[in-house]
A = this chain, B = another copy of it.
Amino acid sequence: MKIYINPAKNKWTEIIQRPQINNAALKNIVSEILLSVKQNGDEAIKKYSLQFDGVELNDLKVSDEEIKAALLVVDNELKNAIQLAKENIEKFHRSQKEEVKIIETSAGVMCWRRSVAIDKVGLYIPGGTAPLFSTLLMLGIPAVLADCREIIVCTPADKNGKVNPVILYVAHLLGLKNIYKIGGVQAIAAMAYGTESIPSVYKIFGPGNQYVTTAKQIISSEGIAIDMPAGPSEVAVYADESYNPTFVASDLLSQAEHGGDSQVLLVTASQQIVDNVKKEIDLQLKLLSRKEKIEKSLINSRFVIMENINDAFDLLNEYAPEHLIIASDNAELLSEKVINAGSVFLGHYSPESAGDYASGTNHTLPTNGYAKAYSGVSLDSFVKKITFQKLSKEGLKNIGNAVEVMAVAEGLDAHKNAVLMRFKNL
């Protein structure tokens, strides 16, 4: 844990620094796997699943029987929790639907745009240390709401060839039928290029480790869309004198448990707050199951004392956190200072974990400072907004001359001609 007191601006670069990843070495390994799947399809997928996940797969697709069996395993308390989360996520994402608005820009010139679902999308759900069924809710619900015609899900199987039953339960609940039990770079490759049993898609969503992230970056540069670039998860908490040290500590700890590379940043006005939060962290940490991971993550955490509130938010905006918690009675007012963040949690009763699971907002958010230019996943991520225009004869009369004059000024007389030929016919 590093503490900064009223750091000068030239110190900020150090404070907002994210963990560096050695990309070149990673890229070579990942490129080789991508190419192999592109060339050898299912055979390569099976080879890498054995090599990396230690699982021998016959069928890559999850069968109806496997899904039926999974439904029986998930207990009712969890089913009810998932149902509540689903309803809230649906409500919030449904509100993002855009109505068609026809705009008459000049008389007779009608312009509008229509949101059309991306026809084929692929959702990657990591397995690994925790089965992230919540991510399937966060990606699957907007994909279904957007009306994507083909939605496929890739998620790794365990060593017995089984996919986590809660993931299968959620897929079933959302009506998703095409689930493939593969993970890692080979899953990204399968969705990007297609194989004998897995169809290719136009856009790939979902978090993953460094290998998956690098694979997504490479296929993105090949023209397949991805949700966003990614890095380790992170939270920044701003706490003023109205804070509750127990709450703030619990929020920092919940972020830190994601893993050793998670980022935790506390910005606050006084040394007193820092001291109290540290004390609370020590108390709560003892009882947590992921204690070792959390301790590793806390080593890299930064506590910043910033007496000037505008400087504090300037620093937070420079950091551009994935999650920003404003632990203040004045959270709503302070939130107007936020320029760069993925998702913002206001007040003392809005823990990040609410948004991670069940409040309704999406938890797939820009990390690593990408919040300066990227939004989190929303319904928008699953549609293209196609523009349309229809000009009446009168409409063309009204703007045709401007088009001609501008086309000529750009040296494009065939552009002018397209108007001229119509004018002759009016």
Contacts and interface: CB of A to CB of B under 8 A. Distances in A.
Contacts of A332: 390
A46 interface: no
Interface stretch (A152-160, A172-180, A267-275, A403-411): A403-411
A229 interface: yes
Interface string A376-397: 1010100111111111110110
Interface in A158-215: 166, 202-203
Interface stretch (A34-42, A54-62, A81-89, A300-308): A81-89
Given A134-B406, A257-B412, A389 B421 contact: no
Please state the number of chain copies in the assembly. Answer: 2
A391 B256 contact: no
Contacts of A348: 422
Interface in A339-354: 339-354
Nearest to A350: B391
Given A105-B88, A418-B251, A413 B289 contact: yes
Contact of A351 (B244, B249, B418): B418
A91 to B, nearest CB: 5
A22 interface: no
Contacts of A247: 418, 421-422, 425
Contacts of A109: 88, 354, 359-360
Contacts of A374: 225, 384
B331 A390 contact: yes
Interface string A315-347: 001000000000000011001001111111111
Contact of A389 (B224, B317, B359): B359
Contact of A250 (B357, B389, B396, B414): B414
A106 B88 contact: yes
Interface stretch (A8-16, A64-72, A364-372): A364-372
A103 interface: yes
A401 interface: yes
A91 B105 contact: yes
13 contacts: A78-B405, A95-B103, A225-B374, A256-B414, A257-B415, A284-B417, A289-B411, A343-B386, A346-B389, A349-B393, A355-B387, A355-B389, A380-B385
Query: Nearest 7 pairs between A and B by C-beta?
Result: A105-B360, A225-B373, A88-B105, A81-B402, A81-B405, A351-B418, A257-B414
